[in-house]
Chains A and B, each alone.
Chain A
């Protein structure tokens, strides 16, 4: 009796801690007052202003575009890595391969961002490309650090599922390519979708790497938001948070759905 009370209290407090700030943010987004902290009355004023704020809308479109493209590329390359690590025996310099595909997971974003920026500058000095930084350079950087996240999901799934199915198909006369497209890929499809969603949100959320690799005409949403809230509060950002939280939480639920699908 006593232990179940402790248990419910711990879980309740934990969830309260996790959700309280988010609820505060959403609550204040309905505040009429321009001074964020002083409650004046319920209003949708800031939502209205948000949708008329061209800078934010433009940044949002750029962010979605970069996130969708880099998630797609990262998923393709990440699936290849996951597949290679589990199913392919001969990988030249395998330790180096593992190093390349897992280090981005643990490397602080700041170091990654700096290295990408210096790389693009050096590349430009050598071959004259990319002459200025912008959406393309952010895209390349995001693909690079999202690959590892996809690879780890795919690797886990491929390790889980039985190789015998593939071998049986092979025995029944399917060739290598056919097994991959008809058996392996359909089976890991939910994980591929989950990996894509994860990469998409990571790219959408990234501030540090994008700040290093951005250039004229490539202000992503986090960059714009950060510039607005670095020194103070902004009622428009409150409204944006409420919308974004909601959207991202839905993506999160989809991720769960696809990632768990395997086990049933």
Chain B
């Protein structure tokens, strides 16, 4: 009997915390996103009105407002494109690195793995700041380019979308390498030898053996990079210019500058529905499925 009480305590303490401080805040975002906006503080009307009998006062106007204005859709699309490009480059750099780490001998492998993850532990903000130093007009990269005679005058490397991609690829790379390594580490290296013995050349071995086996790792790593990048605010703010607007910036300004709380909430809630929900549903289904198959 005691067990039961104990289990309840373990299950319900975090349950309570997360419902209160995670689920209810999400519900509030939804509530405000369907509220009628007005001037005042708070800048929206209640969704339940009691003054002349009970009345539900909701609107979809905020969503219509967002989805009919290219300013909002365009920046969301910009963020998606940014995320696709950054994920691609993370994969391009991360895959060979993860592959070669996984195929090193065990001592070297552990050292390399620690070396790859250590930068990830250092401050995110400061790693972005480091790129600000490197890409300055009189920064190291420009000095090198000038000395090599590639350009005759300093290039404007900072404050554009390429600097943003650079910063993102740099800061998110470990998030791509880790899951890739996790899967590559598991598979049997003899398979590569076997495929060579059976006459497949390097390219074919890669596409027919290595790549198919690392698909779960690629998917996991890509998701870990893709989703946060869509909502990324700091990197475009520090390294980006006015050439492109992104979802994070628009959301921030809609709330803090325009003080349009319903609009910002609608933006946030759309983000949850489009980005996060599909993945969460997939995760829950997957964990149920794997549990069922284990038992």
Which positions in A face B, CB cutoff 8 Å? 7, 10-11, 14-15, 17-22, 24-25, 28, 36-38, 77-78, 80-81, 83-84, 88, 90-92, 95, 97-104, 106-111, 114-116, 118-119, 121-122, 125, 140-141, 143-144, 147, 151, 175-177, 180, 201, 204-205, 207-208, 222, 225-226, 229-230, 233, 237-238, 240-241, 244-245, 248-249, 251-253, 255-256, 260
Contacts and interface: CB of A to CB of B under 8 A. Distances in A.
Given A80-B14, A103-B22, A114-B264, A17 B93 contact: yes
Contact of A78 (B14, B131, B288): B14
Given A37-B138, A100-B22, A140-B21, A80 B13 contact: yes
B147 interface: no
Nearest to B117: A252
Interface of B: 2-3, 6-7, 10-11, 13-15, 17-19, 21-26, 28-29, 32, 42, 93, 96-97, 100-101, 103, 110, 112, 114-127, 129-134, 136, 138-140, 170, 173-174, 223, 227-228, 230-234, 237-238, 248, 251-252, 255, 261, 264-265, 268, 271-272, 275-276, 279-280, 283-284, 287-288
B173 A18 contact: yes
Given A201-B121, A252-B118, 8 more contacts: A15-B112, A77-B17, A98-B283, A98-B284, A106-B280, A111-B251, A208-B233, A244-B126
A241 B3 contact: no
B147 to A, nearest CB: 15
- Chain B interface mostly: helix
A83 B279 contact: no
Given A115-B25, A115-B268, A249-B118, A229 B10 contact: no
A261 to B, nearest CB: 13
Contact of A77 (B14, B121, B123): B14
A103 B276 contact: yes
Contacts of B3: 176
Given A24-B133, A103-B276, A14 B28 contact: no
Contact of B115 (A15, A107, A176, A230): A15
- Chain A interface mostly: helix
A108 B228 contact: yes
A10 B97 contact: yes
A122 B28 contact: yes
A115 B18 CA distance: 13
A37 to B, nearest CB: 5
Contacts of A107: 272, 276
A132 to B, nearest CB: 15
Nearest to B173: A18
